[in-house]
């Protein structure tokens, strides 16, 4: 236990132009909010512990009880609650070492510095239990911008290299029981300021962090921690190892039900957020049943029902009205999602060219043809949805709410047909005694397969025996396995 009164910080805080996340501004630089009118629900407390403290302009440590709530509110109390602070992206937290300036042995303690303003910070620690202090730090870091990385994460291998960031697979070192847990560390470097204007880079990174902090959806990748060092900003993200939708398309392991569920999950994840929708920004978290996660929110912003500000997009996915500098509304997102749905269903892009300028022109003209050989095995209801999503006139384009309802009905319809298919498949292995689809029919009898589909499916796919091909039979086999062996995704 440290007995002397005076302490000296080892670390130096440099006031430089780089930090993406700046310290807050206040006229009086008050750390704590003193007017406390709330009662603390015990169920909301993450941590409650007695810690030593050195406050602003103080030199004598004092012990208080500290509470950290699930909302990210940090409080301290003795006989009653005396102050609170809401942790956010403008609150800096760092695990540091304090040393006793009167101790000739330079005895050190591990402490947490919580900094709200440039010259307004708090130091708390438990000198008898260093693990407790570290655990405190990890909990605090979930709600704020921390400034430590090396002591808590280990880089394992690179995952991806983008135009604006690098992504690495990392493992957690502390606490010890979590050493095998993996995360994705997305790193933005200060050197990016040489490629794009500093304020644009700041807006880019802040936008992504704020969107991910705000978005609470199982279909959006989770942000655990934001770390700001001298020359990089690191986002500690949920690690998704299933690859992108681009990989899924290349593997040719997708069918209409799966495509419809992916599209519906993206809609649920993007209810209030605009983003750059494309195959590479959707990761597969789980294959059967399918579960996707949306990533990369650098260009994202809150939905404004009248007009959005950002006019970013990827060639081939851009809504035609943006080429005419028309107001950017959520209908633009419907178009981009329609491109993605089109690709998932038929396996090809509607606008195709190896020449960038030609691709942009075809995207602008928006003359989309549904080739018979690509779409003959896709239901007419799915095709009509894609057509309405890719309507050139944004006023006539289907809305998010209408599309969500139609997709739910379509998915439910496909599942009910799958249930009917399951019942037929489970009745008997003797195909001559049932008027359904059996695995034997799928494998060996195209004519009976056509008749069974017509008997069981009311969708006007327009099949005849000559239109069957190996891809369609494979698709039906995959659907058979999917219907019979996997759980449904409940929406």
In this structure, the answer to whether residues 36 and 101 fall within a common structural domain is yes
Q: 197, 222, 238: which is the final residue of a domain?
A: 238
Domain end residue (candidates: 348, 377, 403)? 403
Residues 126 and 158 in one domain: no
Q: Is 187 exposed, middle or buried (0-12, 13-18, 19+ CB in 10 A)?
A: middle
Per-residue pLDDT of the chain (491 residues), as tens digits, is 444 445 444 444 443 456 777 766 655 678 888 877 768 888 999 999 999 988 777 777 889 999 999 888 999 998 888 999 988 877 888 888 887 766 667 678 888 988 888 778 889 998 888 888 888 888 888 788 887 787 788 899 999 887 778 899 999 887 666 777 899 999 988 776 666 666 777 777 888 888 888 777 899 999 988 888 878 889 999 999 888 898 888 877 788 999 999 999 999 988 767 667 889 889 999 988 899 999 887 654 433 333 333 445 678 888 888 887 766 677 888 999 999 999 999 888 999 888 888 988 898 898 888 877 888 888 888 999 999 999 999 889 998 888 988 898 888 888 876 644 444 433 333 333 333 445 455 555 656 555 555 554 444 444 455 545 555 555 555 554 544 444 333 22
Closest CA to 280 of 237, 310, 250: 250
- The reply to whether 413 falls in a domain is no
- Domains in the chain, number: 4
Q: Which domain holds residue 185?
A: 153-238
* Structural domain includes residue 2: no
Which DSSP string corresponds to 272-338?
A: SEE----GGGEEEEETTTTEEEE---TT-EE--SS-BS-----TTT--GGGGGT--B-THHHHHHHH
113 found inside a domain: yes
Q: Domain check: are 358 and 265 in the same one?
A: yes
| CATH number of the domain to which 307 belongs | 1.10.510.10
Does 259 share its domain with 316? yes
């Amino acid at each position: 236990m440290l007995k002397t009164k005076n302490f000296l910080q080892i670390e130096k805080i440099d006031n430089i132009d780089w930090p993406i996340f700046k310290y807050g501004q206040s006229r009086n630089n008050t750390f704590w909010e003193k007017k406390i009118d709330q009662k603390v629900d015990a169920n909301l407390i993450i941590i409650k512990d007695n810690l030593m403290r050195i406050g602003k302009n103080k030199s004598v440590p004092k012990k208080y009880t500290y509470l950290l709530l699930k909302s990210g509110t940090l409080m301290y109390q003795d006989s009653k609650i005396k102050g609170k602070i809401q942790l956010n992206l403008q609150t800096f937290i760092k695990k540091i070492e304090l040393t006793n300036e009167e101790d000739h042995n330079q005895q050190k303690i591990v402490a947490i510095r919580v900094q709200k303003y440039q010259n307004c910070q708090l130091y708390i620690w438990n000198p008898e239990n260093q693990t407790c202090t570290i655990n405190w730090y990890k909990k605090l870091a979930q709600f704020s911008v921390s400034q430590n990385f090396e002591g808590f994460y280990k880089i394992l291998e690179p995952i991806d290299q983008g135009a604006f960031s690098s992504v690495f697979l990392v493992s957690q070192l502390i606490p010890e029981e979590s050493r095998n847990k993996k995360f994705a560390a997305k790193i933005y470097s200060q050197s990016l300021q040489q490629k794009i204007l500093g304020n644009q880079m700041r807006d880019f990174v802040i936008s992504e962090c704020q969107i991910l902090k705000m978005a609470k959806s199982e279909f959006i990748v989770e942000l655990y921690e934001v770390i700001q060092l001298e020359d990089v900003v690191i986002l500690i993200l949920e690690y998704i190892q299933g690859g992108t939708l681009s990989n899924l398309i290349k593997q040719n392991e997708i069918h209409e039900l799966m495509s419809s569920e992916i599209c519906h999950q993206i809609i649920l994840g993007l209810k209030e957020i605009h983003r750059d929708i494309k195959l590479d920004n959707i990761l597969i978290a789980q294959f059967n049943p399918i579960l996707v996660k949306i990533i990369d929110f650098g260009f994202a912003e809150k939905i404004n029902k009248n007009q959005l500000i950002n006019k970013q997009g990827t060639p081939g996915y851009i809504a035609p009205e943006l080429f005419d500098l028309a107001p950017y509304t959520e209908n633009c997102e419907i178009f981009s999602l329609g491109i993605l749905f089109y690709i998932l269903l038929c396996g090809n892009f509607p606008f195709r060219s190896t020449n960038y300028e030609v691709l942009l022109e075809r995207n602008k003209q928006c003359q989309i043809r549904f080739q018979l050989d690509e779409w003959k095995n896709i239901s007419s209801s799915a095709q009509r949805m894609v057509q309405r999503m890719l309507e050139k006139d944004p006023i006539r384009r289907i809305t998010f709410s209408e599309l969500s309802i139609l997709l739910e009905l379509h998915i439910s319809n496909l599942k009910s047909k799958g249930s009917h298919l399951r019942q037929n498949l489970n009745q008997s292995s003797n195909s001559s005694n049932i008027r359904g689809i059996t695995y034997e029919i799928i494998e060996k009898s195209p004519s009976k397969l056509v008749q069974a589909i017509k008997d069981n499916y009311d969708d006007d796919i327009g099949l005849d025996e000559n239109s069957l091909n190996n891809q369609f039979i494979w698709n039906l086999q995959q659907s058979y396995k999917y219907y019979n062996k996997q759980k449904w995704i409940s929406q």
